[in-house]
Structure 1
Amino acid sequence: MASRNAYLEYKRDTSRIIYWVVGTSNAIIRKLRVQPSTGDTDALPDLNSTGAITSAGLVALSKLISRHLPTTPPAILRLFQSVIGARTQAHTVFQQIVANRPDPDVEKSNASHKNFIDALTAAFNALGGNPTVAAGAKSASDANSVVSKDELDELLLANRFGALDLETSSANQDDHNLDDDDDEEPNATTSKAQRRKQPKPGKGKKGKRSKKPKKAPAVESPRLEDVPLESYRIIQDTDGIMTDYLMAVYDLLRQMAELRGTLQTVWREVAYDGLNSAVAGAVCHVAHGIIQRTASAMFVDFPGHDSFETVMNTITRGDIEKSQGMFSLSLFRSESGDYSQVNEVKKTAIDVKEQFFIHAYQDLVDFVEDFQKTRSGKPTKRMLEQINNWDPTLNLQRATNEQRIQWRRSYIINWLYDLVNVFSSIVVQRNTMKGERHVLENVDWSTTGPWNQHRRLFGLNEFAGFVTSLAMQKPGIDVRKRILPHHVFQLQGIADSLTASRGWTVSALRGHVIDPPARGFRPRRDVDLFLDRENKEQFHSFLQGADVLQQLLDRYATETLRPSTYKQMNVMIEGIQFDFINWLGESKYMHGLNTIPPSRFSKTNSNGLWEYSPYLCAVGLVEGLQLAYSLGMWLWDKLPEITYIIHLHNMLLQKGFIKTPIGLFNTLENPNFFADCFYTNGEPPTSDFAQALLQQTSRAAQMAASRKQAGREVAKSSSSSIHDLLGADLNLVFNVKSLLVTFQTAGWDPDRIPDADVPLVSGIAGLRISRTKRITNPNTGKAELENTELVRRIKELDNKANDGHSGGSLLDAFASTFQSGPSVSIHLPESLSERILPPGYTAVGSRLDGGAGGQRQWGHAGGKEVDDASLLQMLKMEFMRDVCGSSPLSSFNYVWGTARILMIFMQIEDTLREKRNPLYLEAYESPRTFRSLIEKRLALTTMALEGRNDECLREIARIFENPRAGFMNHIYWDDLVDDLELPKTTEREEQERMLRGPPDQMCSMM
Structure 2
Amino acid sequence: MADQNTYLRYKRDQKLLVYWITHTSNSIIKSFPSDAPMAVNTTGEVRLSTLVSLSGLIAGHIKPIPATIYRLFQSIIAARKETHTLFQQIVTSCPDPDVEKSNISHKHWIDGLTEAFKALGGDLWTTEQKSEKDRADEEDEEEVIFANKFSALSLSGEAKGEGEEDEAEGETDEAPVAAASIRSKQKSTNKKKKGKRGKKSKGRGKQTVDEPKLDQVPLESYRIIEDETGLVTDYLMAVYSLVTQWVELRHYLQGVWHHVAYDGLNSAVAGATSNIAVGMINNTESRIFVDFPGHDSFETVMKTITRGDPDKAQGMFHMSLQRVEPRSRVAKTVQCVDVDVKEQFLIHTYRDLLDFLTDFQKTRSGKPTKPLLSEIQNWDPTLNLQRATKESRIKWRRAYTINWLYDLVNVFSSIVVQRRSLKGQKITLESVDWSVSGPWNEHRRLFGLNEFAGDITGLAMQKPGTDVRPKILPHHVFQLQCIVDSLTVSRGWSLNSLKGHVLIPPARSFRPRRDVDLFLDRNNERPCHGFCYGVDILVQCFEKDAMMHGDPNRHKEVSAILKELRDDFVDWLGETKYMHGLKTIPPSRFSATNTNGLWEYSPFLCGVGLMEALELGYGMGFLIWDGIPEPMCLIHLHNMLVQKGYITQPVGMYATLQELFKTTFFANGHVPTSDFSQAFLAVINETGSRRATFHRRAIRRHVGRTATDIHGLLNSSINRFFTSKSLLRLYREADWVPDRIPDEEIPVESALALLRLSQTKHVTDPVTGKKVMENTELVKRARSIGIDDAMMMKMSSITQKSSIDRGITESVLAALPEGYKSARLPEYNRDGNNPSKGILSSRELLDLIKLDITSDVSSETRPLSSLNFIWVTARFMLLFLQIEDKMRQLRNPLWVEAYEGNSVLTREKRASFTSLVLAEEDEECLTVMAEEFQRPRAGFMNHIYWDDLETSESIRATTADEDAGPSCRVM
Q: Is TM (by shorter chain) over 0.5?
A: yes
Q: Which residue of 1 aligns with 2:190?
A: none
Q: Which residue of 1 aligns with 2:701?
A: 713
Instruction: Please state if 1:255 is matched with 2:236.
Output: no
Q: Which residue of 2 aligns with 1:921?
A: 896
Q: Distance in 1 between matches of 2:432 and 2:173?
A: 46
Match of 1:912 among 861, 883, 887: 887
Match of 1:420 among 409, 421, 441: 409
How far apart are 1:954 and its partner, in Å? 1.3
Amino acid at match of 1:917: N
Q: Which residue of 2 aligns with 1:877?
A: 851
Deviation sequence 1:222-248 (CA, Å, 0-9, x none)? 532332333211112221111111111
Amino acid at match of 2:83: A
The alpha-carbon distance between structure 1 residues 818 and 246, as it changes in their structure 2 partners (threshold 3 A), is closer
How far apart are 1:714 and its partner, in Å? 2.2
The alpha-carbon distance between structure 1 residues 127 and 731, as it changes in their structure 2 partners (threshold 3 A), is same
Q: Distance in 2 between matches of 1:178 and 1:978?
A: 57
Q: Which residue of 1 aligns with 2:683?
A: 696
414-423 vs 955-964, greater mean Cα deviation: 955-964
Larger Rg: 1
Deviation sequence 1:743-781 (CA, Å, 0-9, x none)? 222222211111121222222112111221111111111
Asked if the contact 1:91–1:114 (Cα under 8 Å) also holds between the matched residues in 2, the reply is yes
Q: Distance in 2 between matches of 1:374 and 1:341?
A: 56
Partner-residue secondary structure (3-state), 2:685: helix
The alpha-carbon distance between structure 1 residues 827 and 893, as it changes in their structure 2 partners (threshold 3 A), is farther
The alpha-carbon distance between structure 1 residues 821 and 634, as it changes in their structure 2 partners (threshold 3 A), is same
Q: Which residue of 2 aligns with 1:851?
A: none
Q: Distance in 1 between matches of 2:541 and 2:144?
A: 65
Q: Which residue of 1 aligns with 2:637?
A: 648
Match of 2:935 among 957, 962, 986: 962
Q: Distance in 2 between matches of 1:353 and 1:563?
A: 64
Deviation sequence 1:808-856 (CA, Å, 0-9, x none)? 986365355367444553557999745x49xxxxx6xxx26xxxxxx66
What are the within-5 Å matches in structure 2 for residues 822-861 of structure 1?
Answer: 822=803, 823=806, 825=809, 827=811, 833=817, 836=819, 847=822, 859=828
How far apart are 1:78 and its partner, in Å? 2.6
Q: Distance in 1 between matches of 2:296 and 2:711?
A: 31
Deviation sequence 1:870-927 (CA, Å, 0-9, x none)? 111111111111111110100010000001101111111122112222222222223x
Instruction: Please state if 1:941 is matched with 2:905.
Output: no
Aligned positions, number = 923
What is the alpha-carbon root mean square deviation over aligned residues? 3.1
Q: Distance in 2 between matches of 1:674 and 1:791?
A: 20
The alpha-carbon distance between structure 1 residues 747 and 421, as it changes in their structure 2 partners (threshold 3 A), is same
How far apart are 1:346 and its partner, in Å? 3.1
Q: Which residue of 2 aligns with 1:287?
A: 277
Q: Distance in 2 between matches of 1:281 and 1:149?
A: 39
Asked if the contact 2:731–2:738 (Cα under 8 Å) also holds between the matched residues in 1, the reply is yes
Asked if the contact 2:651–2:934 (Cα under 8 Å) also holds between the matched residues in 1, the reply is yes
Partner-residue secondary structure (3-state), 1:906: helix
The alpha-carbon distance between structure 1 residues 523 and 123, as it changes in their structure 2 partners (threshold 3 A), is same
Amino acid at match of 1:276: N
Amino acid at match of 2:499: R
Asked if the contact 1:185–1:223 (Cα under 8 Å) also holds between the matched residues in 2, the reply is no
Instruction: Please state if 1:269 is matched with 2:259.
Output: yes
Q: Which residue of 2 aligns with 1:532?
A: 521
What are the within-5 Å matches in structure 2 for residues 476-625 of structure 1?
Answer: 476-625=465-614
Q: Distance in 2 between matches of 1:649 and 1:180?
A: 57
Q: Distance in 1 between matches of 2:341 and 2:799?
A: 39
Instruction: Please state if 1:864 is matched with 2:838.
Output: yes
Q: Distance in 1 between matches of 2:51 and 2:435?
A: 47
Partner-residue secondary structure (3-state), 1:537: coil
Q: Distance in 2 between matches of 1:944 and 1:147?
A: 62
Q: Which residue of 1 aligns with 2:295?
A: 305
Amino acid at match of 2:94: R
Match of 2:666 among 663, 674, 679: 679
What are the within-5 Å matches in structure 2 for residues 107-506 of structure 1?
Answer: 107-130=100-123, 148=137, 150-159=139-148, 162=151, 164-168=153-157, 182=174, 222-333=212-323, 338-340=328-330, 342=332, 344-506=333-495
Asked if the contact 1:71–1:169 (Cα under 8 Å) also holds between the matched residues in 2, the reply is no
Q: Which residue of 2 aligns with 1:887?
A: 862
Q: Which residue of 2 aligns with 1:207?
A: none
Asked if the contact 1:27–1:163 (Cα under 8 Å) also holds between the matched residues in 2, the reply is no
Q: Distance in 2 between matches of 1:52 and 1:335?
A: 41
The alpha-carbon distance between structure 1 residues 529 and 317, as it changes in their structure 2 partners (threshold 3 A), is same
Amino acid at match of 1:116: W
The alpha-carbon distance between structure 1 residues 325 and 871, as it changes in their structure 2 partners (threshold 3 A), is same
Q: Which runs of 5+ in 2 are unaligned?
A: 179-207, 831-835
Q: Distance in 2 between matches of 1:152 and 1:759?
A: 27
Partner-residue secondary structure (3-state), 1:534: coil
Deviation sequence 1:412-435 (CA, Å, 0-9, x none)? 100000000000000000011111
Q: Distance in 1 between matches of 2:499 and 2:413?
A: 40
Partner-residue secondary structure (3-state), 2:809: strand
Q: Distance in 2 between matches of 1:883 and 1:498?
A: 22
The alpha-carbon distance between structure 1 residues 333 and 896, as it changes in their structure 2 partners (threshold 3 A), is closer
Asked if the contact 2:307–2:313 (Cα under 8 Å) also holds between the matched residues in 1, the reply is yes
Asked if the contact 1:50–1:222 (Cα under 8 Å) also holds between the matched residues in 2, the reply is no
TM score, norm. by length of structure 1: 0.87
How far apart are 1:706 and its partner, in Å? 3.0
Q: Which residue of 2 aligns with 1:211?
A: none
How far apart are 1:148 and its partner, in Å? 4.1
How far apart are 1:289 and its partner, in Å? 0.7
Q: Which residue of 2 aligns with 1:739?
A: 727
Asked if the contact 2:894–2:917 (Cα under 8 Å) also holds between the matched residues in 1, the reply is yes
Q: Distance in 2 between matches of 1:222 and 1:808?
A: 40
Amino acid at match of 1:664: M
The alpha-carbon distance between structure 1 residues 158 and 165, as it changes in their structure 2 partners (threshold 3 A), is farther
How far apart are 1:564 and its partner, in Å? 3.8
Partner-residue secondary structure (3-state), 2:337: strand
Instruction: Please state if 1:794 is matched with 2:782.
Output: yes
Asked if the contact 1:24–1:159 (Cα under 8 Å) also holds between the matched residues in 2, the reply is yes
How far apart are 1:409 and its partner, in Å? 0.7
Q: Distance in 2 between matches of 1:353 and 1:819?
A: 36
What are the within-5 Å matches in structure 2 for residues 54-65 of structure 1?
Answer: 54-65=47-58
Q: Which residue of 2 aligns with 1:40?
A: none
How far apart are 1:613 and its partner, in Å? 0.5
The alpha-carbon distance between structure 1 residues 375 and 552, as it changes in their structure 2 partners (threshold 3 A), is same
Amino acid at match of 1:717: R
Match of 2:754 among 761, 766, 791: 766
607-616 vs 78-87, greater mean Cα deviation: 78-87
Asked if the contact 1:562–1:932 (Cα under 8 Å) also holds between the matched residues in 2, the reply is no
Asked if the contact 1:641–1:902 (Cα under 8 Å) also holds between the matched residues in 2, the reply is yes
How far apart are 1:657 and its partner, in Å? 1.4
The alpha-carbon distance between structure 1 residues 980 and 287, as it changes in their structure 2 partners (threshold 3 A), is farther
The alpha-carbon distance between structure 1 residues 932 and 726, as it changes in their structure 2 partners (threshold 3 A), is farther
Partner-residue secondary structure (3-state), 2:495: strand
177-186 vs 940-949, greater mean Cα deviation: 177-186
Asked if the contact 2:255–2:961 (Cα under 8 Å) also holds between the matched residues in 1, the reply is no
Q: Which residue of 1 aligns with 2:187?
A: none
Q: Distance in 2 between matches of 1:185 and 1:590?
A: 57
Q: Which residue of 1 aligns with 2:833?
A: none
Amino acid at match of 2:681: L
The percentage of aligned residue pairs carrying the same residue is: 51
The alpha-carbon distance between structure 1 residues 310 and 146, as it changes in their structure 2 partners (threshold 3 A), is farther
How far apart are 1:124 and its partner, in Å? 1.7
How far apart are 1:66 and its partner, in Å? 3.1
How far apart are 1:477 and its partner, in Å? 0.1
Flag the structure with higher helix content: 2
How far apart are 1:705 and its partner, in Å? 3.5
Q: Distance in 1 between matches of 2:925 and 2:325?
A: 76
Amino acid at match of 1:924: Y
Partner-residue secondary structure (3-state), 1:737: coil
Asked if the contact 2:60–2:156 (Cα under 8 Å) also holds between the matched residues in 1, the reply is no
Partner-residue secondary structure (3-state), 2:156: coil
Q: Distance in 2 between matches of 1:444 and 1:592?
A: 25
Partner-residue secondary structure (3-state), 1:85: helix
Q: Distance in 1 between matches of 2:869 and 2:938?
A: 14
